Amino acid sequence: MRCIIETQSWIRPQNDPYRLENFQQAYDNIVSGESKIVRASDEFAASARSVRKEFSATAKTQLKLKATHYALKIFPKTEEEQRSLELDEQIKIAYTPFNYTSLPDEVTQSLVFSKSRTQFCEEDEERRYSVTYEGGMIKDGPVEPVTIILPVLYAVWPVEKPFPVEMDFEILYEVFLPKYITLGENGLSAEAIQILEQEAIALALDEERHLPGGFPRGKVLCYDTHLKRYVPLENLKIRFTLGSNIEEVYTDKTGYYAINNKLIDNQATVSFVFQHEKWTIVKGSEEGGRIEEIKGIYGELRSGKDLNFNINSSSAPDPRYEIHRAVNFYHYGEHDFIISTFVNNRISIVALAVDPGGWQGRFNYWPTSVGRMPFIQVGNCNRNNHPRLIGTTLHELGHYCQFHLRGGTFSAYDGTWNILLESYASYAGWHMGEAYYLNQGWKKTSLNSDITGQARQEWDYQNTTNNYYTPLFVDLVDDYNQGVGYPSRCYDQIKMPQFVVNLFGAYRTWNDFESALRKYTGSYFTENQINEFLFYERSWLQRNGYIKNGFMRKFLFFALSAIFTAGTPAGCNTDYNAISYFVWVNDSDHKITLFVESDLGCEFKNEVILPGESFTAMDNGMGVCPVPSSYIWKMTIIFDDGRLGFTYGVRYYQDDGRSYPPNYDAHYDPSIDDNYVFEDLRGNGRQPKERWTYVFTNADYDAAEAMVPFE
């Protein structure tokens, strides 16, 4: 059993200026003339003296301030409790006690992790509850039990909001937040409230001279290793924290943020919070890790009026910034991948600090009985190849979309064929990854450009390993035919609308998917085109034992030369099976229907070849390419409406040799190898590969007509 407890941040003591008693003391100081800010600038001192006169009025001398909030310490018992608190818009959640301030992440990385009087690790905070998940099953198999130590949460809780009596919590103290009181309340003017707040901060921080910091604004940009320039970080939450006073703002499409209605103190801590209503990105190994990155103190970070951040994450210890770019684009980017309709829940994404080895990303889902929500893990891989890293994240989000398309439950999602799972997720990673970079100004230089590594168009259907990552869904929408010149790659003549293909992620089995796809025959493709298209994945499924029957492909005669021009790519593995293609071309004036039986289990029937069309079957052997006579056990040919036809092959093998019916002409027998045109397709590759072509002409019709009537 693993026990997970994620390090938060290093913190040091700092009084909370917004304790109610501190504000009351600040009020009393101003009234008594003992203010810490009276020795500030002349303008500020004049304002302070004016406010003192206001405070010292007879009716206000004994003014008692009332709390606006409570500072609560909450111990979530479950991850669901933690999520409900984090998503509650009425409260503010912190992961650091309000009477401490967090050290910047850059500083903590150089610290020796040991306790002292001035700093300690939040892991040492009291944690009362843990949750253990056991009995889990994911695609990769059984999951060992995991115990997660739940964090301590610190909440700024409005006084009018009922306490969470069902939760384990403590009231730490009363809080006074001036921004939540109505101007003129308690007889205080706007200027008085401002001066009172500055006096309270100076009092808590032991500063005699204290001036406000201003209105924060600036941009957050992140360097992209492919574009070789900085790009905006959209919808990133920027947090300013001073004690129990928390201000948050999100960046816009340009990475710009501004807090125009709140005065932020120079002593406030600035942090990035990788949390949104639709996602949470944690740093660690499991859910429940750290979501906040501490950047430093506002007054020390800003330059003039602006506080800008240019993040170069190429050497960062985790891929949070790339994950953020990907998940934001998934939800809000300009692409045609339909997800909003299906996905309304927040997804947790874990940014690993290491390369896990063997995989780059993982979608984790659990049986409903376990009580654990799905989450994604993304390894710290491709650190200097951001398109691959973003593509990996979008791939896993494709699984998340599938999960919801399948009903959002373990029972509905589990058991989905891997070829459909991984091919659909690859399609998601490819499409949205390219769309992201196109939106950033990237220009696609060729149809087969694949900057994300998710297109999978070098996939070889002859590969007999469990290579589920196929271009199946990519090929349904793209404009590139990778099969031209490469017989072992998918020959793609299909072009379908994106909104149709998106919905194919809902299918669980190959038969369900194929049935749904074939319904669009005549709308987006011909029967010949879809047969040709599906040949490759079906052949792979057959080779790997997922389906029993073979699948033949049909295509127009004029396409033959394009398909087989270049042979195989150089450097093919010598361990591949030898392969033969058997092609029957109808160059007659008659419709032909073929039936073939094979003792190898590869058979087809009722395959119609119209004049000018052709039909192809495939067979393979170990080291030696099969010949037509080894593939054809019995072939039946029917011309036109069935009046005329003939059966060739094993029917006429007798103990004393082959016997033939009257008027039989061996020149028109498709079971004889010599009647085929032979082509060696090996090319520059080393894999044995052949094509055998038989051309039906009107002479074949005449030969059948001359024989005995068809039985």
Worst-scoring range by mean pLDDT, 67-81, 236-250, 565-579?
A: 565-579
CA 184 to CA 630: how far, in whole Å?
97
pLDDT cut 90: percent of the chain above it: 36
Give 331-352 pLDDT, tens digit per residue. 999 998 877 666 667 888 999 9
**pLDDT average, residue stretch 243-256:** 95
**Torsion angles phi and psi, residue 402, rounded to 5:** -55, -45
The length of the chain, given as a count of residues: 711
Asked if residue 611 lies in contact with residue 696, where contact means CB atoms within 8 angstroms, the answer is no
Q: What pLDDT does 42 receive?
A: 58
3-class secondary-structure state, position 350: strand
CA 322 to CA 324: how far, in whole Å?
5
Give 269-286 pLDDT, tens digit per residue. 999 999 998 999 988 766
Q: How confident is the model at residue 509 (pLDDT cuts 50, 70, 90)?
A: very high
Give 45-97 pLDDT, tens digit per residue. 666 667 776 776 544 456 788 899 999 999 999 888 888 898 888 999 998 89
Beta carbons within 8 Å of 308's beta carbon, 6+ residues apart: 218, 219, 220, 221
Between 567 and 526, the more confident residue is 526
Map 528-555 to HEC letters. HHHHHHHHHHHHHHHHCCCCCCCCCEEE
Residue 369 has pLDDT above 60, yes or no: yes
Q: What pLDDT does 144 receive?
A: 73
Cβ-in-10-Å burial (0-12, 13-18, 19+) of 149 comes to middle
Worst-scoring range by mean pLDDT, 7-11, 185-189, 196-200?
A: 7-11
Q: How confident is the model at residue 447 (pLDDT cuts 50, 70, 90)?
A: confident
Give 399-422 pLDDT, tens digit per residue. 999 998 888 888 888 889 999 999
Q: What pLDDT does 108 receive?
A: 53
- Between the alpha carbon of residue 89 and those of residues 84, 161, 264, 272, 395, the distances in Å are 10, 12, 21, 18, 31
Between 349 and 655, the more confident residue is 349
Residue 114 has pLDDT above 80, yes or no: no
Residue 551 has pLDDT above 60, yes or no: no
Between 447 and 661, the more confident residue is 447
- Residue 186 gets the label, from left (phi > 0), alpha (psi -120 to 50) or beta, of left
Between 662 and 583, the more confident residue is 583
Q: What pLDDT does 61 receive?
A: 53
Q: How many CB atoms lie within 10 A of CB 110?
A: 6
Beta carbons within 8 Å of 361's beta carbon, 6+ residues apart: 376, 377, 378, 379, 392, 393, 395, 396
Residue 5 has pLDDT above 60, yes or no: no
Between 172 and 486, the more confident residue is 172
**pLDDT average, residue stretch 358-383:** 86
Q: What pLDDT does 242 receive?
A: 93
Residue 7 has pLDDT above 50, yes or no: no
Q: What pLDDT does 215 receive?
A: 82
**pLDDT average, residue stretch 109-117:** 45
Residue 246 has pLDDT above 70, yes or no: yes
Q: What pLDDT does 420 receive?
A: 95
Q: If we measure between CA atoms, which residue out of 254, 255, 253 comes closest to residue 272?
A: 255
Q: How confident is the model at residue 38 (pLDDT cuts 50, 70, 90)?
A: low
Residue 436 has pLDDT above 60, yes or no: yes
Q: If we measure between CA atoms, which residue out of 390, 392, 362 comes closest to residue 377?
A: 362
Q: What pLDDT does 1 receive?
A: 41
Q: If we measure between CA atoms, which residue out of 580, 473, 586 comes closest to residue 533?
A: 473
**pLDDT average, residue stretch 227-231:** 96
Between 165 and 44, the more confident residue is 165
Residue 357 has pLDDT above 80, yes or no: yes
Worst-scoring range by mean pLDDT, 120-129, 451-460, 548-557, 565-574?
A: 565-574
